[in-house]
Amino acid sequence: MCGIVAYIGQKEAYPILIKGLKRLEYRGYDSAGIALLDQGELKIYKKQGKVAILEEFAADKNCEGKVGIGHTRWATHGLPNDTNSHPHFSENKDIALIHNGIIENYNVLKEELEHRGHKFISETDTEVLVHLIDDIRKREKVSLAEAVRMALLSVTGAYAIVVISKDNPNQLVAARKSSPLVVGIGKENEYYLASDATPIVEYTKQVVYLNDEEIAVVDLNEGFKIVHLSNQEKTPYVQQLEMNLEALEKGGFEHFMLKEIFEQPRSIHDCFRGRLNVEQGWVSLGGLKEYEQKLVNAERIVMVACGTSWHACLVGEYLIEDLARINVEVEYASEFRYRNPIIGEDDIVIAVSQSGETADTLAALELAKSKGATILGICNVVGSSISRITDAGSYTHAGPEIGVASTKAFTAQVTILTLLTLFLAHKKGTISQSAFQSMLCDLEAIPDQVKRILENDPKIKEISAIYKDVRNALYLGRGSSFPVALEGALKLKEISYIHAEGYPAAEMKHGPIALIDEEMPVVVIATKGTSYEKVVSNIQEVKARKGRIIAIVTEGDRQVKELADHVIEIPETNQYLVPLLATIPLQLLSYHISVMRGCNVDQPRNLAKSVTVE
């Protein structure tokens, strides 16, 4: 959702804020704005659209000041226009505020403030909050930090905020609840605040992740302190950032998405590095050590996630049920949290999330926790909310994923779930030693096999050119390739705006087959494995209706080659590992089609990378 960045210190704030906003733009790109405090004057510059538009607008302005706040918006309340953009001013323009989240009771608060004479110019919930803080500060004659604390006590909802005030030129006040906020401690009496560490890493590696209901006060004279909403002072826990700057750059690629697709040989390897040993024949997920036995004894595992991460869970379900013989239920987090699920102390609920911030996934976990379940996390972003509220978990180590469409995070999630499956199956004895050993070998070979698929990119680009103007597409797969079909369809939809559906191949004849004609491309995952012959039959059914087939096949396949209009070969592997390979050409197909259609690959319309609101 929205991105927040703020700076206070000895340097000019504007360049730091603009650069930070560009790094955060993946979180929302409906509008961007900054507020700067210079010689007692608080000025706001904000524009609908991307950060580049704000930069152009600010080019001839006097954007000076050593303290400032910046925001990039994904609109929730109110249209994405200049007025609704952040920062928002208080009544007399003494205070400005940026906000990520939703103030659910803003209407009630607004009415009260209107009664007291406040006038609002935007349609946002955020403007209500800044008026409320100002109102409390003046009425109660309290400090800015105390006014923020008191205001937040009457707020329901989610927030990460940073507040800047004319009367406190040496201070920024920030707070969080259910939306992330990181404080960077600079070298020379300076502080950075941001939604995630990406705008900070260039300047300092010393960070503090705020916890829910904590307020951070950074003051150039008095230093840094954290106060809980209950008014209790907390000791900041300073952490060392393990992120490098190159991971945040495009590194010669035209788009982040392409870079991230091509990073997969490395990211998959990083994900299993130190977690498997082929020679000694073991798999271990260090982060889950404490819960190993509970997992082994589990009668059922529930997985909660959204979007692409949900697809990874479905792959996990096929693997864990088949190989480790544990019942797995995969739930959309947004549904799970509202349907009074039957969960108890014996249950293990695993959340899978790239960002570790997805609001529905977090809420689903909180619900499971309140019912006594053990909650585990599989996250990519280190220090994220999910990784902090879970009892234990495993990081995917895919590195920052900036492209809004998830690619390397998906294959890393599937890698972790494969490791988990192998661990459980081995411990429970539901896999033979030779099958276990051979799967370990095959898993270790995956990064090189992904490399070989990526070498085939020019051919995938040619196929993309043929299909770039289609209006619909169908993706089919069976077994663990069914979630791959879902994922392929989602990638195409979200970045090229072509309507696409993923289906279990055999389900096609129960409805979708009616859609098939010579206009309809059907992407089929038809690799060697137990359901190969059945998928071949499904391809025949499509052919009989003149559908056009793009098939993902195992190297050397002849049968499908004769039927399909195009084949994309992937190296042979254990059938349980096919999702790690078959996904790659589908990512490239969507990528090229999106570029050819002139779409914004990295920042597709209406989407944001991290969905921190319901």
Task: Just list the catalytic residues.
Answer: 2, 609
Q: Which two tokens stand for residue 211?
A: 């916890």
Between 575 and 610, name the residue whose CB sits nearer to ligand F6R.
610
Greatest alpha-carbon pair distance for the chain in Å reads 80
Give Cβ neighbours of residue 511 (< 8 Å, ≥ 6 apart): none
Work out the burial of residue 189: count CB atoms within 10 Å of its CB; fewer than 13 is exposed, 13-18 middle, 19 or more buried: middle
- In DSSP notation, 51-85 reads HHHHHHHHTTS----SEEEEEEE--SSS-SSTTTS
- Shortest Cβ distance from residue 386 to ligand F6R (Å)? 8
* CA nearest to 420, candidates 292, 239, 231, 592: 292
Sheet holding 191-194, edge to edge: 41-48, 31-38, 67-73, 3-8, 191-194, 182-185, 206-209, 239-240
Give the whole-angstrom CA distance, residue 101 versus residue 159.
4
* CA torsion through residues 412, 414, 417, 421, sign: negative
Let me know how many helices (H) and strands (E) the chain has, helices first. Answer: 19, 27
CA angle 245, 246, 247 (to 5 degrees): 90
Distances (CA, A) of 345 to 350, 368, 495, 564: 14, 9, 41, 50
C-alpha closest to that of 591 among 522, 503, 498 = 498
Which residue carries 């129960």 as its tokens? 510
CA distance 608 to 479: 30
CA distance 484 to 527: 12
Nearer to ligand F6R, 70 or 307 (CB): 307
Run of H or E residues at 454: helix 433-455
- Are 369 and 389 in contact by the 8 Å Cβ rule? The answer is yes
Residue 51: count of CB within 10 angstroms of its CB: 25
Cross-strand partners of 48: 31
CA dihedral 219, 222, 223, 228 (to 10 degrees): -80
Contact residues toward ligand F6R (CB under 6 A) are 306-309, 353-355, 358, 361, 405-406, 490, 494, 610-611
Q: Are 175 and 217 in contact (CB under 8 A)?
A: no
Beta bridge mates, 282: 277
- Report which of 247, 276, 580, 256 is spatially closest to residue 382, judged by C-alpha positions: 247
- Would you put residue 157 in left (φ > 0), alpha (ψ -120 to 50) or beta? left
Q: Which amino acid is at 108?
A: V
Where does residue 181 fall: left (phi above 0), alpha (psi -120 to 50 degrees), or beta otherwise?
A: beta
As beta bridge partners, residue 549 has: 522
Which residue is nearest to ligand F6R, using beta carbons?
307
Instruction: Tell the smallest beta-carbon distance from residue 98 to ligand F6R (Å).
Output: 22
Minimum Å distance from CB 330 to ligand F6R? 14
Q: Are 566 and 560 in contact (CB under 8 A)?
A: no
Q: Whole-angstrom distance between the N-terminal and C-terminal Cα of the chain?
A: 10
| Residue that is written with structure tokens 């997920």 in the block | 285
Q: Which is nearer to ligand F6R, 198 or 610 (CB)?
A: 610
DSSP 178: B
* Beta-bridge partner residues of 88: 97
CA–CA–CA angle 51, 493, 385 (5° rounding): 60
